[in-house]
Structure 1
């Protein structure tokens, strides 16, 4: 709310809606429909989860992050538009949540800009209804963006690239159609991956010493020069690999011991088997990270 100019928020209009705007409004419409279906069939746990997923994942994790550049650096029209989307989306979400969390939603609702133009209480406000507002194209494009961003974040995490460190991003599509779509999303990709440069093309070669990932038919590369000490990272990964190889040998010995399997309670044996799966998965990821270097 600190990014709002005053206590009023203009309605949508003026600026051309960005993909993120179309997507979050589509997701809101879809959420309203699911919540109403849940209430009608008394599936209150599903209602709670649906609202939580929309507010926490869609609205906070993704939309607010994509809104920040326009709030800070956009034109006056762009800023007014994104403010309207932020406030009106949150206002409807609070109405959906009110039966589950009555007191806090009332308090937040009263603090939203434009309160003087609404009812005196959220309790008597009009209940949201899902109108024809689902934008399948926006949701499909946003899913692609989210998948690529998640892939980049995974590479950064697995190779210990500091979160705030700017990276170069190379995105190789399988065809020109996908490449053109990714070029339209280039600005959002830069924002969400902390990339100072994004190169997008078709069948691009993998840069030397780069982390890599695959999202469908899209290959993602993050050149590591200047980001991390490659030699030190190789040594760290080799040390971790050796550690987990030892842990796996120890567990394999225990799980291969007939005496342990007969004497130990079933839940203990099952827990050890789960640990082995976790260790094997971690080892596989460590070995894959080492190969990237």
Structure 2
């Protein structure tokens, strides 16, 4: 075990823990944002640079500060290390620059994007973005494409985090999509005459932090804050069958994996609860699921606001109106 101090808070973690995961053990606002890192995907991280932090003291043995800002998702803690995140002006300035860079080619289509209301890029822009923009050039544009019978690709929104590529590599037998070309021509695409049709390929929608990969069975049906997310499970021979079903009245509008506070699929019984395509796309009948109860979404979101009563409404008549 080693001791590390992050924004004045000392915590003891296992040796080999990254700064980002050490901050997540503390929780709260000191956790750096991460657009590309995904703890359930091996090799992820190091692409977006939103998790940069200042290391004011390298270790107890060598207390000298590290001259450059460090990527917290891949930098391991050392005993006696002192890290500054929210307390560093250098970090705030650098994160604002990274946010501006990620938004340089991103379209302003939040009003029509299915990811609105649960988009990590919206959160990043709100917390770290600047009021104005210096970008004067034309944004690069791509036409929306069907890359599977139930998956739509909006390359204009993609930030090239590589999460979907790692997901396909590690969950499917044969990946047929990836990052093509280089530099400002780089794009997510499928190989010629190929489509995403693996039984677990729908998970690329869950891992995408923006609205680049969307569910065609839910496309333009509703805003997520109009829906009620419910914990649910079903007997499934392919996956664990553990999901969040998003309901409007008594109808299921869409099915997603259960995500934690950092937008990552939760682990159940020691395994990541990835959803199969049958549960995600083809099981929209309420009778196919066992509804466990409300799922409270608390990541910078109003999705759960005013939807649920967590006690018996008969005990307090003033809460009955929230059931409507």
Higher-Rg member (1/2): 1
Q: Answer 1 or 2: higher relative contact order, Cα 8 Å, separation at least 6.
A: 1
| Structure ranking higher in strand proportion | 2
Q: Same fold by TM (over 0.5)?
A: no
TM-score range, shorter chain: under 0.3
- Which TM-score applies when normalising by structure 1? 0.26
- Which TM-score applies when normalising by structure 2? 0.24
| Structure ranking higher in helix proportion | 1
